[in-house]
Amino acid sequence: ATPTAVMVGTGVAAAHGVLIKGADALERAHKVQTVVFDKTGTLTLGRPAVLEMRCFDPQVSEHEVLELAAAVEHASEHPLAAAVMEYAERVLTGPSRPASAERSRESLDLDREDSLHWGSSAAPSMATTPRFGRRARRTDWIRMVRDAEPNPGKGIKGWVEPGPGYSRPKGLVAQQEHRQVQNGWASLMGFDSNSQQQQQRQPGIPEPREVRVVAGNKHMMADEGMSVPAEVDDYMRKMEDQCCTCVILAIGSTITAVLAISDPIKPEARGVVAALGKRGIACHMVTGDNWRVARAISSQLGIINVMAECLPAAKAARIRELQQGRKLVAMVGDGVNDAPALAAADVGIALGSGTDIALEAAEYVLMRADLEGVLLALDLSRATFNRIR
Ligand code: ADP
Ligand code: MG
Pocket test for ligand 1, best of 285, 289, 297 (most atoms within 8 A of CB): 289
Is the CB of residue 155 less than 8 Å from the CB of residue 309? no
Task: Extract long-range pairs of 195-203: CB within 8 Å, 24+ residues apart.
Answer: none
The rounded Å distance from CA 243 to ligand 2 centre is 16
Exposed/middle/buried for 258, CB within 10 Å: 0-12, 13-18, 19+? buried
Classify 5 as helix, strand or coil. helix
Amino acid residing at 251 = I
pLDDT at 215 over 90: yes
Going by C-alpha positions, the residue among 145, 135, 162 that lies closest to residue 76 is: 145
pLDDT digits (tens, 9 = 90+) for 317-364: 999 999 998 889 999 999 888 999 999 999 999 998 878 889 889 999
- Given this model, what pLDDT does residue 177 score? 60
38 counts as catalytic: yes
The per-residue pLDDT for 107 is: 43
Model pLDDT for residues 105-157, shown as the tens digit of each residue: 444 444 443 333 333 333 333 333 344 444 456 788 999 999 999 998 899 99
Separation between Cα atoms, residue 314 and residue 300, nearest integer Å: 24
**Single-letter residue type at 155:** G
- The answer to whether the CB of 79 is under 6 A from ligand 1 is no
pLDDT at position 204 is 58
Side-chain-facing half-sphere of 153: CA atoms under 13 Å? 18
Closest of 265, 301, 277, 275 to residue 372, by C-alpha: 275
Per the model's pLDDT, the better-predicted residue between 243 and 194 turns out to be: 243
Q: How many residues does the chain have?
A: 389
DSSP count for the chain of H helices, then E strands: 14, 13
Tell me what pLDDT residue 130 has.
44
Output the CA angle 200-206-207, nearest 5 degrees: 70
pLDDT of residue 175: 52
| 125, burial (CB in 10 Å: exposed 0-12, middle 13-18, buried 19+) | exposed
How high does pLDDT run on average in the chain? 83
Instruction: Please give the average per-residue pLDDT across 4-23, as a whole number.
Output: 89
Report pLDDT for 169: 66
Question: Could you tell me how far CA 317 lies from the centroid of its own chain?
Answer: 20
Q: Assess whether the C-beta atom of 217 lies below 6 angstroms from ligand 1.
A: yes
The ipTM assigned to this model is: 0.97
The average pLDDT across 260-284 equals: 96
What are residue 362's phi and psi, to 5 degrees? -100, 160
Indicate if the pLDDT at residue 97 is higher than 50: no
Cα–ligand 2 centroid distance for 97 (angstroms): 33
Ligand 1 proximity of 215 Cβ (cutoff 6 Å): yes
Does residue 45 surpass a pLDDT of 60? yes
Ligand 2 centroid from CA 195, angstroms? 44
Instruction: Find out whether 198 and 147 touch, Cβ atoms under 8 Å.
Output: no
Distance from C-alpha of 92 to C-alpha of 115, rounded to nearest angstrom: 13
Q: Cβ(370)–Cβ(268) under 8 Å?
A: yes
Write the pLDDT tens digit of every residue in 156-177: 999 999 988 888 765 444 555 6
